[in-house]
Structure 1
Amino acid sequence: MSIRFTALLLLIGSASLAWAQEDALTLPASTVSAQTREALSAPSGVRLDQPIRTGSRLDLTARETPASVSVIDRSVIEARGARDTQEVINAMTGINASANPGYGGFVSYRGFTQNQITQLFNGINLGYASAARPIDAWVVDRVELIGGPSSFLHGAGAVGGSLNYISKLASRDDQLLEGRLRYGRFDESEISFGFNQALGQVADAAHFMRLDISRGSSNGYIDRNERETGSLAFSLLSDLTPNLSHTLAVEYLEDREDSPYWGTPILNSDGGTMKIDKRRRFENYNVADGRYEQRVRWLRSILDYQLSYATRLQNTLYYYDGQRDYRNLERYSYTPDNSQVQRGGAYQQRHDQNVLGNRLTLTHDRQLFGLSSRWAAGLDYSRLRQTLHPRSGGDFDVVDPDQFDPGHFDDIPGMAMGLQKQRRHEVISRSLFLENHLQLTDRLALLSGLRYDHLEMEVTNYGAVSDTSPALFERRWEPLSGRIGLVYDLTPTANLYLQYSTSADLPAGSLASATYSNVGLFDLSKGEQWEVGSKFDFLDGRGAATLALYQIVRRDFAVRDSTDPNLTVQAGQQTSRGIELAGRLQVTPVLLVEANYAYVDAEYDEFNEAMDGVSVSRKGNRPINVPDSVANLWLSYSLTPALELGADMRYVDSVYADNANTLKAPSYTLYGAFTRYRVDEHTTITARLRNLTDEIYAKQAYGEQYYMGAPRSVDVSLDLRF
């Protein structure tokens, strides 16, 4: 408890200082702005005057947006040593993410998980959480987060919030050449390279290209678990006329794991706190030839046309092609006396997914009733196709955890037959959206947004046909979602905001994999949020902070009927209430402190599940893998102009592994430290220690398994930039 309140008190103290500094708050806007820019020149996750793409289509800054929004840009990614996108988002306020192969894009935020958190790639919604497996951070320029329902921006889903991973693109900057070599414990290595180049003389160049390549590998902290990753991103920016530009962007991403780690079985007890046998901390119970692979290809064509000083037209044509392959033994549990491990849950699967789409956006600045007004309107079209090839099996064998032969996948009865095509999904989405920012007075602004979606889903069943698995079924929905918010400037450096927003999503599952029993004849679930907050600078711009209070209610999702456990009805309801704080303070010219803290009270208002043929109410229980509190803290101290020292802390509260709330994974705290030495203006060496105390902790918990986080490790990186 003391750790979470340390972060909370730090932020509350910062806020108190802000209101106490009356002189700072009454300085002329130009003076404050200049001081703020100077103080925020260091890498920081709290930048209030930075435009946010994910919170609006109007190029509003975080300060102008009536919502909890945050950004981790390239400078912060590098300063904190994030190796992949999972580590990037775990530094954001309230986020708790993990990457179990079966839940590759798992995110918990504001009391919601899985498909209730939309994960976008360059603003594109793939409609499937498994498509959001962590990728190498090298090709990522920034990650943005908006809290709460955001269907009005990104389409169906996003009850809890939206994350947007934005890739590096060619720019008109001067020539840039950069690279990285990194090596650490478990033979973890990275080789990355990138450059941005004007094609011709910089002064009159019309074409600019960027290329980024990265390769990573690791022997894994779990026995027999090896991983290789790779990424390639190429983009070409062409100024076709003074007002018209085009960007062509191509990306290829791959990820391969041999004998993936699916979790550690917990010891049998009478319930309560989940415990593992620490002697077998790094044991892998998967088969020897278990496999997870992902191959992703992206193609984007981006046109940007400045029609006039006040009007801009942007069009993005995109294509995504992804293939994910699984071949594993995934479920493990101890025998009653905790002496042997029962292995089962054989599963072979292939996802063949592609998405073709186009987004057209028109933005326009004009007067409305004599008031300054900005508009954004557009059309969205996407066609998602995915074919699933699942084959599964039950219990396989019982092994002595101290010594056993892991065996081979084809040894499992029925698995040697290979893939079997089961279902094909096609989802076509057509959308209209409109957004407006209206400056009502010098201090008060109104932001409004509305989106209409027309969704068509067609599912073809190639397996056995039954009443609950017809050969073909189709569904159509037409959700309408929106947002309205007010921002009031108390001073030039502090504001208050109020927002109401709505969302719509599937009652269960996702559009890319929904079955007839998930969807049936159900309508979409509905979500709504009220949020109030404040964003402000303080101490002459040396610090900045944000505060948000919210309530989200999700209604009408699929649950078991309260009287007949064989029936699924659309009667579920969940409420989440919480607070989020984030702040940064340049304590001295050489000492920077940053922190964020989130608390959520999430519970089911109406929820039933089937247990041994009986429908059981879980009303009042907390959803699985939702921590009450998440906190992060970073300290960075420049000992000399060339030498920087730093430390960090992350706290995650306990989570439940079952809807009955009888199994709980304990809370944990991770500490880290780093030393960075700038050899010269081009060369930097960084040594980073992670999980300093070698904490044993569960990044995710489900059923009788405990997905363990990494132990203590150290790595050293050499960064070059010319």
Structure 2
Amino acid sequence: MFSFSLSSSSSFHPSPLLLALLAGFAATPPVVAQTGAAAQLERVTIDAARHGGPAPLEHSAGSSSRLGLSLQETPASVTVIRRESIEARGAANTQEILKGVPGVVFADPPGSAGTVFYRGFGSGSLAQLYNGISVQYDAIAARPVDSWIVERVEAIGGPSSFLNGSGAVGGTLNIITKIADNGGELSRFVVGLGDRLQASASLQRRLGEQDGGQVLRVELNRSEGALWTQGRDRSAWQASASWRAPIAGSALVHTLAVERQHEKVLQPYWGTPMLRGADGTVIGRLRFDPGTFGVNYNVQDGRYEQDVSWARSILEWSPNASTRLTHTLYHYDALRDYENLETYVFRNGNRQVERSGALLQRHDQRVWGSRLELSHATRIAGLRSDFAFGTDWSFNRQTRFPLSVNGPFGLSDPYAPVVGQFLDLPGISRSYTPGATNLLRSFAAFAENRTELGQGWAVVTALRADRISMDVRNHRAVSASNPALFETRFKPVTGRLGLVKDLSKDWQVYAQASTAADPPSGVLATAGFSALRDFDLTKGRQFEVGSKRGFDQGRGAATIALYDIRRKNLSITDPNDRSRVIPVGEQGSRGLELSAQWRPVPAWQLAGHWSCTRARYENFVETVEGIGPVSRAGRRPANVPAVVGGLSADWRPHEALMLGADWRYVGKRYANTANTIWDEAYQLIGLSAALRLTPQLTARARIDNLADKRYVASLSSSLPYLGAPRSISGALDWRF
């Protein structure tokens, strides 16, 4: 099963990085676990003053288990990026934080700003959560948010629908925001300058008793500035408040958290047209006219704007050390508006640009949900066994208001276009007529268990049964392909079976099998009759083996994972009837992931990751204009690189000075399923510095894309989306 053939046509040679990562596993000789009852291993306690905090693998990740397992105890590849790392790398938003997750690539084109690829699968087959909650519209709703309000990011590779429901074949990414805690009082203010202006504040205060009293926390953030393309101005703000209040002693605690987000982008950049051959087609490597870099062909008053509100009520009850009950009641409200001219193509021998694709679009989405979780630690036949049970209910309602006019809307000078106004385009008016409403109701029951088997063995199991009902109400003309009301029901059952073996207190090996389910095409919050018809959800499964090892007395950690994923029943064109789609497609992905971090001495912090992915369509047919149904079996999915790597180093030559550098490599990617259009690999280098001016005041500086590399962040066979050039930013960080 794990017979891998991993290759890349790029010039990247991973051997030095691979050897560095593998060195972590050989840093100390193995200690085989003893036999018998006495072999039950205790967790290692690391002196925080000496090593800068707990051993990396001793941390837990709530996104990978409801049992509070540490990374060592979890039979899966899990990455946790904490606040310290976010600030050290100068990540401006939630997508830039993902640079630390092995194998992940991302982009934020306005039409699908939550574009992420993980283990060979795209946004439609990934779960992008916000504080553990999915709104079932991740490719759009998971738009990058300024990182100030983020506490950490957790990523679990591979199928994980058994945790949060449908839509997680390739993996799960969970953004966890700051909330009131028992960490003590906090006052912090940051002012950012340079290519991105920012003003941010954190304030936490304890009321009443020193321990166990009420805690209030407020987070404020505002950022704005012209981005790198012409006319693209962005302003955004976030505000959150949380109140943590013990009830009847410390056993019962209630936390109320509310958050508000606003973002507005004027004249959003949708992409840069590629040069075309004499026949007007594009074949081979993408080519661009350097004179068009930074040129924006969107209308002058084009915009993207969103308002998002979150509210959570979290009740936690711990009657004793072995039992914990948590209930989360939540609400999400989002309004997103688009008014843009979105498509640009070179014509007349690449001398003019034709503009088309005018779209006025509004998304009105609301989600209500309730999640109940009970965990209990006990013993069975003298062996420790931890259980978790719960239910998960949600109601998701979204109405879309589209007005689309294809055009074209004339030809423009590629270097100095006369962009005009949106409402001056023929057929466009600012009228919001509903197109369709999706009503999504879901209820799930789940269970999870970890049982120690003795002699260093432990088995981890999880099971989830979902009941999903979806009604799609068509507000426009009724037809055979677009009925007035479309109803469908799904009953997926997903799970995980994992086995962990302690080779020593610092070294574990594991194996696991897991399953997932997601729609055959599209996402449930917008999918309709043409995408689902009488289809069931796709079936995804993964087999994974790996190892995790701490070394150098807790100062370092290294992990390795080998996986094989299959997704079946995705929609393809019927080879015998090109007017129909049938759910018989299949996609596969095999890969290798490695990561390591090491603090050899207090002054140095080193980290790196490397991944190689062999993603292929096993059975996939699409309709090609003028040809008919064409098989894409054996082709690589668009935007999925074979190799992704990263390195970072932080050096503290003096107690008041920190210097950092990071490097990122993304391999060759294809722009279409035929694999006839591609872009070569690219590398990005970043530098950072922090100087403590006084005990309370620190100055920070950051350079991204040091070499000013022009690269494609998101490939497309029609309009590629370029990444940002070199940028410089600075900040003053005041803690008081």
Deviations 1:270-327 (A, max 9, x none): 5111011112210001000100011100110000011333211100000000011111
In the alignment, the residues of structure 1 paired with residue 155 and residue 16 of structure 2 have an alpha-carbon distance, to the nearest angstrom, of 24
Q: Distance in 1 between matches of 2:577 and 2:49?
A: 64
Q: Secondary structure at the match of 2:58?
A: coil
Corresponding position: 1:543 with 2:556: yes
The yes-or-no answer on 1:472 pairing with 2:485 is yes
Q: Is 1:432 the equivalent of 2:440?
A: no
Residue 102 of structure 1: SS of its match in structure 2? Answer: helix
How far apart in 2 are the matches of 1:458 and 1:494?
49
Specify which of 103, 106, 119 is matched with residue 115 of structure 2.
106
Residue 729 of structure 2, aligned match among 686, 706, 715: 715
What's the CA shift for 1:170?
0.6
Q: 2:154 aligns with which of 133, 138, 144?
A: 144
Q: 1:8 aligns with which of 14, 18, 25?
A: 18
Distance 1:6 1:278 in 2: 34
Does the Cα contact within 8 Å between 2:656 and 2:693 map onto a contact in 1? yes
Deviations 1:226-281 (A, max 9, x none): 10110001000000122111000000011110000000001113511101111221
Match for residue 208 of structure 2?
200
Q: Find the partner of 2:44 among 18, 33, 55.
A: 33
User: Does the Cα contact within 8 Å between 1:473 and 1:516 map onto a contact in 2?
Assistant: yes
Greater displacement, 708-717 / 194-203: 194-203
- Deviation digits for residues 474-500 of structure 1, max 9, x if unmatched? 000111000000000011110100000
Residue 445 of structure 1: which of 458, 478, 488 is its match?
458
Does the residue aligned with 2:24 lie in a helix, a strand or coil? helix
CA RMSD of aligned residues (A): 1.9
State the Cα deviation string for residues 312-369 of structure 1 (Å, max 9, x = none).
1100000000011111111111014111101111111111000000000011111123
Q: What is aligned with 2:387?
A: 375
Gaps of 5+ in 2: 1-10
SS at match of 1:588: coil
State yes or no: 1:60 paired with 2:69: yes
| Cα 1:483–1:353 shift into 2, 3 Å | same
Specify the SS of the correspondent of 2:111.
helix
Q: From the superposition, tell whether residues 29 and 216 of structure 1 become closer, same or farther in structure 2 (CA, over 3 Å).
A: farther
Give the corresponding residue for 2:312.
300
State the partner residue of 1:226.
233
Aligned to 1:134, the other structure's residue is in SS state coil
Q: Write the distance in 2 (CA, Å) between the matches of 1:365 and 1:29.
A: 16
Letter of the 2:363 partner, please give it. Answer: H
Contact preservation (8 Å) 1:300, 1:317:
yes
After superposition, what is the alpha-carbon deviation per residue over 1:30-63, rounded to whole angstroms, capped at 9, x for unaligned?
9993457566527x9x921101100000000111
1:691 is the counterpart of 2:705: yes
SS at 2:479's partner residue? Answer: coil
Change in Cα spacing, 1:267 to 1:40, as seen in structure 2 (3 Å) is: farther
Q: Show the counterpart of 1:652.
A: 666
Q: 1:576 aligns with which of 589, 594, 599?
A: 589
The DSSP-based 3-state class of the residue aligned with 1:67 is coil
Distance 1:491 1:419, change over 3 A: same
Q: Post-superposition shift, 1:100?
A: 0.6
Report the equivalent of 2:617: 604
CA contact (8 A) 1:36 1:541 kept: no
Distance 1:29 1:658, change over 3 A: same
AA paired with 2:458? A
Q: TM-score, normalised by structure 2?
A: 0.94
Give the fraction of aligned pairs with identical amino acids, expressed as a percent. Answer: 40
- The one-letter amino acid paired with 1:539 is D
The alignment partner of 1:639 has SS state of strand
Residue identity in the other structure for 1:268: R
Please give the per-residue CA displacement for 1:454-481, whole angstroms capped at 9, x wherever unaligned: 0000000011111110000100011100
Tell me the residue number matched to 1:265: 273
Paired AA for residue 611 in structure 2: A
Contact 1:32 1:540 (8 Å CA) reproduced: no
Which of 203, 218, 224 is residue 217 of structure 1 equivalent to?
224
Q: Counterpart of 2:68 in structure 1: which amino acid? A: D
SS in 1 for 2:20: helix
Task: Name the TM-score, length of structure 1 as normaliser.
Answer: 0.96
Equivalent of residue 130 in structure 2, options 113, 117, 121: 121
Deviates most, 678-687 or 157-166: 678-687
Shift in CA distance, 656/201, structure 1 to aligned 2, threshold 3 Å: same
Distance 1:57 1:672 in 2: 36
Q: Is the 8 A contact 1:39 1:543 kept in 2?
A: no
Which of residues 233, 243, 253 in structure 2 aligns to 1:236?
243
Shift of residue 7 of structure 1?
Answer: 2.7
2:132 maps to amino acid: G
Q: Secondary structure, in 3 states, of the residue corresponding to 2:236?
A: strand
- How many Å separate the matches in 1 of 2:668 and 2:12? 15
Residue of structure 1 equivalent to 2:646: 632
Residues 159 and 527 of structure 1 are in contact (CA less than 8 Å); yes or no, is this contact kept in structure 2? yes
1:58, 1:488 → 2: CA distance? 18
How far off is 1:559 after superposition? Answer: 0.7
Letter in 2 for 1:53: G
Structure 2 distance, partners of 1:29, 1:382, is 40
Tell me which amino acid in the other structure corresponds to 1:426.
L
Unaligned regions of 5+ residues in structure 1, if any?
Answer: none
Match of 1:391 among 403, 408, 411: 403
Cα contact 1:18–1:537 (8 A) shared by 2: no
Cα distance in structure 2, aligned partners of 1:420 and 1:317:
32
Aligned equivalent of 1:250: 258
2:471 maps to what in 1? 458
- For 1:667, the equivalent position in structure 2 comes to 681
| Partner in structure 1 of residue 3 of structure 2 | none
Structure-2 residue corresponding to 1:554:
567
In structure 1, which of residues 324, 329, 347 is the aligned counterpart of residue 336 of structure 2?
324
The structural deviation recorded for 1:29 is 11
Output one character per residue of 1:521-543: Cα deviation in whole Å (capped at 9) or x when no partner. Answer: 00110000000000001233332
